[in-house]
Structure formats: C-alpha cells, structure tokens
C-alpha cells in the first residue's frame, strides 16, 4: 500500500448517516478520498466537497459493473485505489464484484457471498466445526416440507440474502406454511428461501474488529426482545443493551466467534480479513452457543454510537474508517453500560397522531439519558423496524442502564391514525 492510501467510498445518497461515514474518512490525515454515488457532486455538503479528490456518479450503486467502471475512472483521474468501502449491507456484494473486476485489494465476491448467502454461510461454518442451527436452502414447497419433517415445527423462513430479521417469518403450523405465498415468500429455483430450525434462546451480538483475519477487539450487546419478536409485534418498543460487565457469556463465546470469522474470511485473510463484523448469536438454555448470522460491515440499530459511548467516548465511525484505511485499531475497554430504546407506534394509520409520556420518560431516565429524538405528530409511519424515534442512555452500572431503557419504552406511547 502506498504511503497515502486512496479510499473510494460508495455513498448511495448524501444523507445524514452516510455523510457521517464519509466525514470520518475525510477527517483522516494522510488519506486521499474519492466518492462513488447516485447523487451528483453538487449534492455534497460544502465542507466535504473540498476534501474529495474525485467523484463519479453512477445510476445504480447496487450494480457491481457500474461500481467497477467508476473505480477505473477514479483511478485514471486520482490514482490507483487501495480500498473500496461502504457501510450498508446491500453494498457488500456489488462492492466485492467491483473489486474483482477493477483489481482492487480486499474482499472479493467469493468471500463476500459467504457473508450474504445465509445457506452458504452456514455450510462454511459447519464445515469448520462452528455450531449453528439446522438449516436448508429450499427451492420448492416440497423441499420446505421435507425440512419441516426433519426438524419439526416451528421453523424460520427468510430470503436467502436478507437484511437482519427483515422479511423473516416464524412458521409454527401447516397453515402458516400455506400462508407464506401471501407474504411474498414462495420458494423457487430462481429465488430460494432459507429455512432454519427455530432456536429458543437469548439473542446476543458480537462486534469484532479483525486485522488480517485476527480478532483484536470485541464488544457485545443483548437484544430485548429479539429482532424476530420485534418484527412479529409491530407495536412493541425494543432495546439494545451494552452491559458493563465482561460477562462469562462473551468470554466463552470468543473462541466460537474467532473460529467463525476465520472460516468466513477464507484462506487469504491478509487481504480479506480487515473488517468490523456484526455477528448475531444465540445462547441456549442448555448453555450451547450457536452462530446465527454474520455481516462484514458496521452494525446498525445505533450499536456504533453506543460502542463509542461505552468505551470512553471514542468515535467508532472514525475508528472504523482508520481500520479500513490503515489496517490499524486501538483497543478500548468498556467504561460504562449503555443502550438504545426505539419508539414504534400502535394502530393502523400511516401517520403519527399522538405521542404521550415523553416528559415522564425523560424525568425517570434522569442523568442516564444521553440523547432523545421523540416521534412527532404528523410524522409518516416508518418503513423499517427501527421506528419513528429513539433514545440513547449510559450509566455506571448495567442495571442502571437497563432501568433507564425501561423507563423510556414503558412510558413513551406513539399512536398511528
């Protein structure tokens, strides 16, 4: 790698969250930054525009061939590209394809598919002795029924390359099975579905910083309730908690996490294995630990800023940018507990008609409250499961952070109409 690395960042549109990642790369000393976007260069914020070495507009950032064409153009105008990067899950496969086509170092399509194709992911993990739930990729209802006969009800059915728990359905009866087409889940050869054994367990995450395939830092969270329960109950408020204690749970899981990542990164981790990964895993009642899904990108649901809050106030987005640009990361200890609460409405309407309990929730959360974005009357109903508003907290103790989160989700009431 050259002394001044050239980073090409894929920013679909110059929106608030994307600009935070773009700003993190722009703020690194000794980095040349170019941008590939569906937006014109004129849409860049002025403070960012002056730090950009090159911009190339594409029609579709999800097309690997278009990204490769953009990379070649940026190479001609601004010099060879050392890293092609982007934060969104949907970008991981097209960026990998573009790296292969344009000869850019990093994770190519063969390895990236292990993170996006859930059936392939579990095949690779099983082959390396990593514990996972039983699963199968099914291309017909007969194959789906065959899987049910093997593992029994209930099962989970979802798209092959889903985003988190989106489009995931729990199937508990034959009637549920017959209802899948009405939910847009019909297995075919062209669009197979992932079928998985339903696991009764507590769900955790493990965020890992790896450099050349070796894990150098880990952070864990708890979901409550689980993402699937959140999707199945559209009105439920939910939380992500980052405990202070270095619980035995995460300590015991570290070898499983490392084995899974080494299996997925493949035989050449010097090139593919520098990443921040987001792993969801289950702790079963009998103590078994099962890997569920792994994403080779920064986590969502506010886990990035929460990791910063609970690890001495570091800017984790900037730390991730430094990791990608320079293959370096400074490990940090967790100094407090933290969490995020997400506010979602009840009712059938498409807009918020009332928001109650915010002032009481703020009073009860007290000094633990860091930031709150309350839903507003008239606001459109959110399309994603994150909801229309959120709050973050931190506290010297895990119990204090948990109580602050509960005071928020138990008191803020949002209704649609």
What CATH number is associated with residue 254? 3.30.470.20
The CA–CA distances, whole Å, from 286 to 202, 239, 274, 289, 385 equal 11, 25, 34, 9, 30
Instruction: Say whether both 250 and 298 belong to one domain.
Output: yes
SS3 for 240-265, per residue?
A: EEECCCCCHHHHHHHHHHHHHHHHHH
Can you give the residue range of the structural domain that contains 67?
6-105
Instruction: Say whether both 54 and 176 belong to one domain.
Output: no
Tell me the pLDDT tens digit for each residue of 341-377. 999 888 989 999 999 999 999 999 999 999 999 999 9
Instruction: Say whether both 176 and 221 belong to one domain.
Output: no
The whole-number pLDDT of residue 166 equals 56
Instruction: Say whether both 405 and 345 belong to one domain.
Output: yes
Cross-strand bridge partners of residue 112: none
Instruction: Say whether both 13 and 84 belong to one domain.
Output: yes
| Residue 262 to residue 125: CA distance in whole angstroms | 10
Instruction: Say whether both 345 and 304 belong to one domain.
Output: no
Last residue of a domain, one of 149, 182, 197: 197
The reply to whether 114 falls in a domain is: no
Tell me the pLDDT tens digit for each residue of 10-32. 999 999 999 999 999 999 999 99
Instruction: Say whether both 329 and 395 belong to one domain.
Output: no
Instruction: Say whether both 193 and 209 belong to one domain.
Output: no
The reply to whether 359 falls in a domain is: yes
In this structure, what DSSP letter does residue 376 have? -
Instruction: Say whether both 80 and 174 belong to one domain.
Output: no
Residue 205 has pLDDT above 60, yes or no: yes
On the 0-12 / 13-18 / 19+ scale of CB atoms within 10 A, 345 is: buried
The pTM of the whole model exceeds 0.85 = yes
The reply to whether 55 falls in a domain is: yes
The reply to whether 119 falls in a domain is: no
Number of domains in the chain: 4
The reply to whether 272 falls in a domain is: yes
The reply to whether 124 falls in a domain is: no
Instruction: Say whether both 208 and 325 belong to one domain.
Output: yes
Instruction: Say whether both 323 and 244 belong to one domain.
Output: yes
Instruction: Say whether both 14 and 83 belong to one domain.
Output: yes
The reply to whether 116 falls in a domain is: no
Q: How confident is the model at residue 161 (pLDDT cuts 50, 70, 90)?
A: low
**Strand residues in 18-82 grouped as ranges (E):** 32-37, 54-57
The reply to whether 120 falls in a domain is: no
The whole-number pLDDT of residue 1 equals 43
């Amino acid at each position: 790698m050259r002394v001044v690395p050239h980073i090409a960042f894929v920013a679909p549109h110059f929106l608030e969250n994307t600009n935070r990642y773009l700003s993190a790369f722009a703020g690194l000393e000794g980095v040349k930054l170019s941008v590939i976007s569906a937006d014109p260069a004129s849409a860049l914020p002025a403070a960012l525009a002056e730090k950009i070495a090159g911009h190339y507009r594409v029609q579709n950032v999800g097309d690997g061939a278009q990204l490769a064409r953009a990379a070649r153009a940026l190479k001609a105008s601004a010099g060879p590209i050392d890293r092609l990067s982007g934060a969104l899950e949907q970008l991981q496969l097209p960026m990998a394809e573009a790296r292969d086509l344009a000869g850019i170092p990093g994770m190519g399509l063969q390895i990236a598919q292990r993170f996006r194709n859930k059936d392939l992911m579990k095949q690779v993990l099983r082959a390396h002795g990593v514990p996972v739930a039983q699963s199968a990729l099914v291309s017909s209802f007969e194959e789906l029924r065959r899987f049910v006969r093997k593992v029994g009800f209930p099962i989970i059915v979802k798209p092959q390359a889903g985003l988190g728990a989106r489009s995931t359905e729990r199937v508990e009866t034959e009637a549920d099975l017959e209802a899948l087409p009405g939910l847009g889940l019909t297995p075919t050869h062209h669009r197979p579905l992932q079928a998985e054994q339903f696991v009764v367990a507590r769900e955790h995450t493990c965020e890992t910083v790896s450099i050349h395939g070796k894990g150098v830092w880990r952070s864990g969270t708890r979901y409550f309730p689980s993402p699937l329960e959140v999707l199945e109950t559209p009105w439920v408020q939910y939380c992500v908690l980052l405990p202070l204690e270095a619980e035995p749970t995460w300590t015991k899981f570290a070898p499983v996490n490392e084995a899974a990542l080494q299996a997925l990164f493949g035989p050449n981790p010097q090139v593919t294995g520098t990443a921040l990964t987001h792993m969801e895993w289950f702790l079963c009642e009998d103590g078994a630990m099962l890997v569920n899904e792994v994403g080779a990108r920064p986590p969502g649901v506010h886990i990035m800023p929460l990791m910063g809050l609970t690890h001495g106030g570091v800017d984790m987005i900037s730390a991730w940018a430094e990791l990608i640009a320079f293959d370096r990361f400074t490990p940090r200890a967790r100094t407090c507990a933290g969490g995020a609460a997400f506010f979602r409405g009840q009712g059938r309407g498409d807009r918020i008609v009332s928001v109650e309990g915010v002032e009481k929730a703020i009073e009860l959360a007290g000094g633990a409250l860091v930031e709150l974005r309350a839903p507003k009357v008239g606001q459109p109903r959110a399309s994603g499961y994150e909801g229309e508003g959120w709050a973050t907290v931190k506290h010297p103790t895990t119990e204090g952070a948990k109580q602050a989160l509960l005071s928020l989700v138990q008191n803020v009431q949002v209704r649609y109409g």
